[in-house]
Amino acid sequence: MQEIALEPGCFQRLSLILPLDVPIYPQVAHVLLIDLPGETLANLTRVLEAHEHTVVTPAEPADAIFCGAGRVASGGVRQMAADHAAAPVIVVTGPAETGQWLDAMEHGAADYCSEPIEESEVLFTLASALCALERPV
């Protein structure tokens, strides 16, 4: 086995011990991106598509949802999950909004990412949210 260290950032102290041919989450996901600022939307799209995930429209089924922090209030997170067969919702907050993570989790989000978006954080958070669906609590 070889050690794989993730990019610096939120996970700079985290490393995984995995054979290089074993992906963290082998499934290609259909991901809905909603209510995100233009640059964040473009960065998430680039990261997801570079790893063979498909970005879908609201009319299509989604395996996971990334949304802006504005959706947290008024039950928007739970409604999105209900509209998309209980897909995990990952809330994206700006750097000054990182205190909103607790609100996001209390309103039903599976997880959150903060800007600036880091590729390793996005992929780890998505994989974690999708794997949690397969492990009932």
The SS3 of residue 2 is: strand
Listing from the earlier edge strand, what are the strands of the sheet with 54-56? 54-56, 30-34, 64-68, 89-93, 111-114
Q: Is the dihedral of CA 36, 63, 29, 91 positive or negative?
A: positive
Of the candidate ranges 33-37, 69-73, 97-101, 127-131, the one whose mean pLDDT is the lowest: 97-101
Would you state the pLDDT for residue 29? 92
Which residue(s) pair with 33 in the sheet? 66
| Domain layout of the chain by residue ranges | 27-134
pTM recorded for the entire structure:
0.75
Domain 27-134: give its CATH code: 3.40.50.2300
